[in-house]
Amino acid sequence: MSLRTRLYAKLMIAGKAGASRAFERLPPVGDQHAVKTAPMAEIWGLRATDLVVATGLPSWDAHPFRENAGVSVVKGLQRLLPNDERWTRWGSRAAADHELAEVLGAVGRGQTFTPWPDYATDAAFARALVQGPMAPLLEHRGDEFVVDCRILAGLERHPGTVPLGVVVVLAFRADATGARTPQLVRIELEDGTVRTPADGEAWQIAKLIAAAGMQTWLVVGPHLVYTHFLNAGALATAAVSELPNDHAVRRLLTPHIAGTLRVNDRAGKTLLGPHGNVQAVYSFPWPSVQQLIARAIAQYDPTRFDLPMDLERRGLTDLCASGDYPYGADALLIWNALHVYVREYLCVYYPTDADLSADSHIQRFVATFCRSSPGLRADSLTDLARALTARIFAVTVHHKLVGGISLEFLTHPYFLPHRVGPGERVDDVVPFREQTEANLAAKFGTTYRSWGLTADWPSVALDENGRAVMQAFQDELRAISEHIDARNSRRAVPFPHLRPTELESSVAV
């Protein structure tokens, strides 16, 4: 690893150690503050959307991480790593393993750059689509399960990269022990070429291309645009702008908007824009990233964070019930608890729908949200409870998969690489050392923890009645952690990521 990557890792580790102590203190509820916004068209240069994005921060919206150092180091690093530099090859998977382990030693906090010892196998690749970061992208089509990244098709790319508009197809089949496991069937490349496991090294390369496609779409679409901006940012902007400090819904949302405006402000500066990490690290220059963001917004379905509706839409309800989809099964446990919690909490303060309609703060909250993101309604308590459950689910559970586990899953050049070059040998197409380092640096800067979902949030309640409902939710989350532990003891490969005690309460960086 280069000196600058070592330095960066050390800085980030020091920052994280300090931050984890600071996250022990809960953030302030804060006062009502009209958050400044500007059209996305202006901020990101997008046409064909009239949505707005936050551009201002209330002074009390602090975040334990000292963002100035992080922003300048990340930007400096990316300027040092232009895309036309002469790069160095890893040479072999063993060399990458060795050097990443060295950084791992420097990290010393139990993090790894491959989640599973069998990471080089087809089985591990397929598993990443079912219980790894791509799990929220899986869909059932006919007899097959797919992850479809054709939204990336046709975009201009950096030199030395390959097209990423791929479709990955898998099926669930019984293995030698009779257990059903996900197995890769084929990969359809953007130019129409179809690769199967019978294709030798060309198959190995197709997997790497598919991984780069899935990672690129995941980071730009489901993570940044959908979870951070259309969901978390819209929620924080509307709650802070329209709900006073002593409003019951402001207190309900406090844990789930904590630090969000600041996190998104930083994400906008470090990740997006003509000098941001996304254009520097991934295959697409900024004009293509702009096109991709516009495509993502055009395809956004606000029900994607309503888990039962989302599972139905993706045809995964049966798979979920079968136990073969750990992400869905564990996420549903939390969804159900969250939905009960939000409904019961709202019932405390709004005995009837008429009480809700009469609350002008809530009506303005919904209107302000809809200027940043489509699809929030408060016509009835039932509507509002379901919609807020989805918004909270997005920043806690969904964010964990699409963002929170990216350092572990999306950094190893021979497992799920972030970009791929042309060539006919695996060692020639995986990201260069310097590109891997740039990706590592970007991931170090974007995988911060935030406040825990099981922190002492009942202490922000407005009154005893609200506190009782919040405490009951906390008790339920602890029971769910035990339930998930029990499930994991039976699973061939555990899925620890959605244990509520491991989840964040609001989006991390």
CB 1 within 8 A of CB 36: no
CB 327 within 8 A of CB 498: yes
Closer residue to Fe ion, CB minimum distance, 206 or 253: 253
Shortest distance in whole angstroms from residue 450 CB to Fe ion: 9
- Tally of CA atoms within 13 A in the half-sphere of 39 that contains its CB: 8
Closer residue to Fe ion, CB minimum distance, 383 or 502: 502
Closer residue to Fe ion, CB minimum distance, 161 or 372: 372
Shortest distance in whole angstroms from residue 116 CB to Fe ion: 23
Shortest distance in whole angstroms from residue 447 CB to Fe ion: 8
Q: Which residues contact 317 (CB under 8 A, 6 or more apart)?
A: 308, 311
Closer residue to Fe ion, CB minimum distance, 326 or 403: 403
**Count of residues of this chain found to bind Fe ion when the rule CB under 5 A is applied:** 1
Closer residue to Fe ion, CB minimum distance, 224 or 378: 224
Residue type at 438 in one-letter notation = A
Q: Which long-range contacts does 182-191 make (Cβ < 8 Å, 24+ apart)?
A: 182/126, 182/127, 182/129, 182/130, 182/145, 182/324, 183/122, 183/123, 183/126, 184/122, 184/125, 184/126, 185/144, 189/163, 190/150, 190/152, 190/153, 190/163, 190/164, 190/165, 190/166, 191/163
**Which phi and psi (to 5°) does residue 185 adopt?**
-105, -50
Shortest distance in whole angstroms from residue 33 CB to Fe ion: 23
Closer residue to Fe ion, CB minimum distance, 340 or 405: 405
Shortest distance in whole angstroms from residue 446 CB to Fe ion: 6
Shortest distance in whole angstroms from residue 118 CB to Fe ion: 28
Q: Residue 90 and residue 228: Cα distance in Å, rounded?
A: 34
CB 459 within 8 A of CB 436: no
Closer residue to Fe ion, CB minimum distance, 181 or 406: 406
Shortest distance in whole angstroms from residue 221 CB to Fe ion: 13
Q: Which residues of 420-456 are buried (b: 16+ CB within 10 A; e: fewer)?
A: bbeeeebeebbbbbbbbbbbbbbbbbbbbbbbbbbbe
**DSSP state for residue 352 in the 8-state scheme:** S
Scan for tokens 């899935």, then name that residue.
214
Shortest distance in whole angstroms from residue 93 CB to Fe ion: 29
User: Using CB atoms, what's the residue nearest to Fe ion?
Assistant: 403
Residue 331 corresponds to which tokens in the numbers above? 């996420």
Residue type at 380 in one-letter notation = S
Closer residue to Fe ion, CB minimum distance, 221 or 403: 403
Shortest distance in whole angstroms from residue 228 CB to Fe ion: 6
Which 478-497 positions form the footprint of Fe ion (CB under 5 A)? none
String of contacts with Fe ion for each residue 163-182, x by CB under 5 A: --------------------
Count CB atoms within 10 A of the CB of residue 459. 10
Shortest distance in whole angstroms from residue 402 CB to Fe ion: 8
String of contacts with Fe ion for each residue 21-60, x by CB under 5 A: ----------------------------------------
Closer residue to Fe ion, CB minimum distance, 372 or 450: 450
**DSSP state for residue 121 in the 8-state scheme:** S
Task: Confirm or reject binding of residue 268 to Fe ion (CB under 5 A).
Answer: no
CB 390 within 8 A of CB 305: yes
Shortest distance in whole angstroms from residue 14 CB to Fe ion: 21
Angstrom distances, CA of residue 243 to CA of 58, 99, 365, 393, 396: 14, 50, 7, 21, 22
Q: Residue 168 and residue 129: Cα distance in Å, rounded?
A: 9
Q: With helix as H, strand as E and coil as C, how does 457-496 read?
A: HHHHCCCHHHHHHHHHHHHHHHHHHHHHHHHHHHCCCCCC
Shortest distance in whole angstroms from residue 88 CB to Fe ion: 30
Which 395-414 positions form the footprint of Fe ion (CB under 5 A)? 403
Closer residue to Fe ion, CB minimum distance, 148 or 504: 504
User: By C-alpha distance, which of 170, 165, 166 is closest to 126?
Assistant: 170
Closer residue to Fe ion, CB minimum distance, 403 or 413: 403
The gap from C-alpha 430 to its chain's centroid, in whole angstroms, comes to 24
Closer residue to Fe ion, CB minimum distance, 186 or 443: 443
- Contact residues for Fe ion (CB under 5 A)? 403
